[in-house]
């Protein structure tokens, strides 16, 4: 938009100077003088030239942003707001100047001056609110400190710009300092406040081996870390990039606003033309007809419309980011307001995704430790939460984790690999059923009733044992589901786990519909089936094996922005792994849409009344609007739109913790 080329400061300066220049214009204007009965004393011909001088100064200096905007829009063949304002002030100034130079008629310099003042004021206020809306992002960027204490290989410590830190450089962070880079702690212990990144308000304890991210605040300890990402690749930088791109991307509503602005411009030019011709046709003075025409063009100016949507977008994306909701796809976010059903992946989304081994069930002669050790050797290569649980149990029991070759992850099924020459599989009950492996179900049944996930260990095609793991339900999940229900959104559970587990989790959370024992591809089918029932579906998953399902759903929401895959696949990424944030997405999407709709009304609706008034439809009963008053109306509409956008809030957030 052309008018954004001028900064807030530039508009402010032009506004104040033009305002001062307006004082002599008002004092010298015949119309104003007659108002105070001063006409006789001041009316010397020379005063008109002084008036022309000041008005011309205002026209060129104060009107400059609009005149250059006019040229820009015409060059781009995109006539819009600047065309209208530029045209209106040019007509007013030229006509009045010609009259001063001797052509009979009347002048309206004071109208011109006040019109320009008000236009400048409106643009100034607008530029400032746009600035305010993008300030949220700048405050994110400012999280990364500019200086880092680098520890050189010779042991010396040197202060360098944080951009100069490269991968594998060591850096030291002192108490109270912000972290200059993403990395892993290699020495020291501390607690870190990651709230500005994740919204999680409690500082997190960190020690050697833990990952830390740039921009978080080191609370008390001091530590040395090894950078594992360049500054430009850091998590915060990615978030900022993401939000910038989302703010710049156009959505349906923005397209609608742009089209409306074009139509409003055309309406303004046409009604201006009709106004001029009609007044002349009924025999009005040329000056009077021109004044009405100028007023119509000013009042119809799609100024507020140019702001109505972008401002709401800027405020809502910033608000979302501050609440840990990263919007990647604006169109999908706008559609989120229409969602009927939310499909939740179980593991890591509704549950903590932190499995702990509760029992080992030997089937053959193998010992519990052997089973765990075999499984752990293969799982050492997997990123799945089940794998982490098994590995932890093995280390806790000081079991040997052997070397694995030919490792292969079977998504949604399990893992396989060769350990000490033996082929090992750690797989789901579904795999056993598919491969017709029979076993004594009575041995594992009790674990299902306790909501435990059971995986089976197969050695050289023979079933040797099972491992039962427990995962706790997130404390916020119940309240989140309740909030969604209250909003009229149905919750559905989808999982690769056993039916019994899915049923138990659904019951505990108040979810009425669930689908279990699904492979990743079947999750996609399940979503397509829901869609064919006419539901608009959002899918919430961890973004690793749920990627295809996230892509299939109308709105894909990934939890845990720590993983790059999540950032790549989803439309919306939740920084925290808190199910309550899912409800916030819909609340914000609805609130945002309401604001956009209100703003479109405030930006265009008033024209229905304003255009006829400005044209002089009620002139017979003495109601006429001067161009300056027209500018006041137009600016008020702009200011309402700006303030309305700033008032956007996430509203009542889902209550935290168990209800």
Q: Is 347 a residue that touches ligand ADP (CB under 6 A)?
A: yes
Segment interacting with ligand ADP, rule: CB under 6 A, options 129-137, 198-206, 327-335, 383-391: 383-391
Q: Of 345, 370, 471, 500, which one interacts with Mg ion (CB under 5 A)?
A: 345
Return the number of the residue (234 or 351) whose C-beta is nearest ligand ADP. Answer: 351
138 catalytic? Reply is no
Do 205 and 534 contact (CB within 8 A), yes or no? no
- The entry of Mg ion, ligand ADP, none near residue 374 (CB within 5 to 8 angstroms by kind) is none
C-alpha to C-alpha distance for 348 and 542, rounded to whole angstroms: 7
Closest CA to 270 of 296, 305, 292, 299: 296
Give residues 215-274 in contact with Mg ion (rule: CB under 5 A). Answer: none
293 binds, among ligand ADP, Mg ion, none (CB under 5 to 8 A by kind): none
Q: What angle do CA 470, 446, 387 make, to 5 degrees?
A: 30
- Which of Mg ion, ligand ADP, none has residue 295 at its interface (CB below 5 to 8 Å by kind)? none
Closer to Mg ion by Cβ: residue 300 or 351: 351
Considering the rule CB under 6 A, would residue 556 count as an interface residue with ligand ADP?
A: no
**459 contact partners, CB below 8 Å, separation of at least 6:** 366, 374, 422, 423, 424
Task: Considering the candidates 169, 182, 345, 542, report the single residue annotated as catalytic.
Answer: 345
**Three-state SS for 155?**
coil
Q: For residues 495-554, which are near Mg ion according to CB under 5 A?
A: 542
Residue 347 found at the interface with Mg ion (CB under 5 A): yes
Q: Per the structure block, which two tokens stand in for 48?
A: 């008109």
Place of tokens 């019994």: 500
Residue 11 has φ and ψ, to the nearest 5°, of -60, -40
Find which of Mg ion, ligand ADP, none residue 387 binds, CB within 5 to 8 Å per kind: ligand ADP
Burial class (CB in 10 A: 0-12, 13-18, 19+), 655: middle
- Contact partner at residue 414 from Mg ion, ligand ADP, none, CB < 5 to 8 Å by partner kind: ligand ADP
Stretch that binds ligand ADP, among 55-63, 269-277, 342-350, 526-534 (CB under 6 A): 342-350
259 Rama sector, left if φ>0, alpha if ψ -120 to 50, beta otherwise: alpha
Closest CA to 515 of 549, 489, 488: 549
- Of 21-29, 44-52, 379-387, 561-569, which part binds ligand ADP (CB under 6 A)? 379-387
Q: Which is nearer to ligand ADP, 56 or 453 (CB)?
A: 453
Q: Closest approach of Cβ 441 to Mg ion, in Å?
A: 25
Residue with the CB atom nearest ligand ADP in the bound state = 496
Torsion from C-alpha of 181, 182, 186, 192, nearest 10 degrees: 90
Task: Figure out which of the listed residues 190, 198, 545, 569 binds ligand ADP, where binding follows CB under 6 A.
Answer: 545
- Is residue 500 within the footprint of ligand ADP (CB under 6 A)? no
Nearer to ligand ADP, 428 or 569 (CB): 428
Give yes or no for residue 455 binding ligand ADP (CB under 6 A): yes
Q: Which does 115 bind (CB under 5 to 8 A by kind): Mg ion, ligand ADP, none?
A: none
Question: Which parts of 36-149 fold into alpha helices (H)?
Answer: 39-42, 45-57, 64-75, 81-100, 109-141
Q: Is 495 in the site for ligand ADP (CB under 6 A)?
A: yes
Between 574 and 611, CB nearer to Mg ion: 574
342: β partners: 491, 538
Q: Of 421-450, which residues contact ligand ADP (CB under 6 A)? A: 426, 428
Of residues 347 and 598, the one with the C-beta less far from ligand ADP: 347
Contacts of residue 165, defined as CB under 8 A and 6 or more positions apart, other chains included, come to 148, 150, 171, 180, 181, 227, 230, 231
Query: Of residues 453, 491, 569, 598, which one binds ligand ADP by CB under 6 A?
Result: 453
Closest separation between CB of residue 324 and ligand ADP, Å?
22
Q: Does residue 511 contact residue 612 with C-beta atoms inside 8 Å?
A: no
The alpha-carbon radius of gyration of the chain (Å, integer) is: 34
- Identify the residue among 58, 130, 386, 596 touching ligand ADP (CB under 6 A): 386
Closest CB 392 distance from ligand ADP, rounded Å: 13
Task: Choose among Mg ion, ligand ADP, none what residue 566 binds, the Cβ cut-off being 5 to 8 Å by kind.
Answer: none
Q: Which does 417 bind (CB under 5 to 8 A by kind): ligand ADP, Mg ion, none?
A: none
Closest CA to 493 of 598, 347, 361: 347
Q: CA-CA distance, 451 to 501, in Å (whole number)?
A: 5
Whole-angstrom distance, CA of residue 101 vs CA of residue 537: 70
User: What span, in angstroms and rounded, lies between the C-alpha atoms of 262 and 323?
Assistant: 35
346 binds ligand ADP (CB under 6 A): yes
CA gap 504, 524 in Å, rounded: 23
Contact window for ligand ADP (CB under 6 A) among 19-27, 300-308, 313-321, 409-417: 409-417
End-to-end C-alpha distance for the chain, whole angstroms: 48
Segment 415-434, which members bind Mg ion (CB under 5 A)? none
Catalytically active residues, by annotation: 345
- Residues of the shown chain interacting with Mg ion in the complex, contacts defined by CB under 5 A: 345, 347, 542
- Residues of the shown chain interacting with ligand ADP in the complex, contacts defined by CB under 6 A: 345-347, 379, 382, 384, 386-387, 412-415, 426, 428, 453, 455, 495-497, 545
């Amino acid at each position: 938009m052309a008018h954004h080329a001028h900064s807030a400061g530039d508009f402010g300066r032009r506004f104040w100077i033009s305002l001062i220049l307006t004082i002599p214009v008002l004092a010298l204007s015949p119309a104003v003088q007659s108002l105070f009965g001063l006409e006789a004393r001041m009316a010397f011909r020379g005063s008109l030239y002084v008036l022309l001088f000041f008005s011309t100064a205002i026209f060129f200096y104060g009107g400059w942003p609009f005149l250059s905007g006019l040229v820009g829009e015409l060059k781009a063949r995109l006539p819009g707001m600047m065309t209208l304002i530029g045209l209106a002030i040019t007509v007013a100034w030229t006509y009045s100047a010609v009259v001063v130079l001797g052509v009979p008629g009347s002048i309206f310099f004071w109208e011109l001056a006040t019109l320009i003042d008000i236009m400048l004021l409106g643009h100034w206020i607008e530029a400032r609110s746009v600035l305010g809306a993008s300030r949220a992002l700048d405050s994110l960027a400012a999280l990364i400190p500019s200086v880092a204490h680098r520890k050189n290989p010779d042991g010396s410590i040197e202060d360098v710009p944080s951009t100069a830190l490269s991968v594998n450089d060591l850096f030291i962070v002192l108490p109270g300092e912000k972290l200059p880079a993403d990395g892993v702690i290699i020495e020291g212990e501390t607690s870190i406040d990651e709230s500005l990144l994740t919204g999680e308000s409690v500082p997190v304890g960190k020690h050697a081996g833990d990952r830390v991210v740039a921009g978080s605040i080191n609370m008390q300890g001091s530590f040395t870390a090894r950078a594992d990402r360049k500054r430009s690749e850091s998590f915060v930088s990615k978030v900022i990039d993401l939000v910038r791109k989302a703010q710049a991307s156009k959505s349906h509503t923005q397209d609608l606003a742009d089209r409306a602005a074009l139509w409003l411009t055309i309406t303004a030019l046409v009604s201006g033309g009709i106004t001029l011709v009609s007044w002349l046709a009924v025999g009005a003075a040329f000056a009077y007809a021109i004044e009405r025409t100028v007023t119509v063009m000013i009042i119809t100016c799609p100024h507020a419309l140019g702001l109505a949507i972008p401002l709401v977008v800027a405020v809502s994306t910033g608000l979302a980011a501050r609440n840990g909701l990263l919007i990647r796809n604006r169109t999908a976010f706008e559609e989120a307001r229409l969602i009927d059903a939310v499909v939740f992946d179980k593991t890591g989304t509704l549950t903590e995704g932190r499995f702990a081994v509760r029992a080992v069930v030997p089937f053959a002669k193998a010992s519990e430790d052997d089973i765990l050790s075999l499984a752990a050797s293969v799982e050492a290569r997997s990123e799945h939460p089940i794998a982490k649980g098994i590995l932890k149990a093995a280390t806790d029991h000081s079991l040997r984790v052997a070397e694995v070759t030919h490792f292969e992850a079977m998504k949604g099924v399990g893992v396989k690999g060769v350990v000490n020459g033996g082929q090992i599989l750690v797989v789901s009950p579904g795999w056993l059923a598919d491969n017709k492996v029979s076993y004594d179900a009575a041995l594992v049944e009790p674990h299902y009733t306790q909501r435990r996930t059971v995986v089976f260990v197969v050695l050289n095609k023979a079933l040797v044992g099972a491992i039962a793991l427990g995962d706790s339900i997130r404390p916020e999940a119940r309240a989140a589901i309740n909030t969604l229900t209250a909003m009229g959104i149905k919750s559905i559970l989808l999982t690769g786990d056993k039916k019994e587990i899915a049923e138990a989790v659904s019951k505990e959370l108040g979810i009425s519909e669930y689908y279990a024992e699904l492979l990743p591809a079947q999750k996609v089918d399940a979503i397509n089936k829901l869609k064919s029932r006419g539901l608009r579906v959002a899918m919430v998953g961890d973004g690793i094996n749920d990627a295809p399902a996230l892509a299939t759903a109308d709105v894909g929401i990934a939890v845990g922005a720590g993983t790059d895959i999540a950032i790549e696949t989803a439309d919306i990424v939740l920084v925290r792994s808190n199910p309550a944030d899912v409800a916030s997405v819909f609340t914000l999407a609805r609130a945002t849409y309401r604001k956009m709709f209100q703003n479109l009304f405030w930006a265009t609706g008033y024209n229905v009344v304003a255009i006829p008034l400005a044209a002089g439809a009620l002139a017979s009963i003495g109601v006429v609007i001067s161009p300056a008053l027209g500018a006041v109306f137009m600016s008020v509409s702009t200011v309402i739109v700006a303030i309305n956008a700033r008032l956007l809030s996430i509203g009542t957030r889902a209550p935290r913790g168990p209800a």
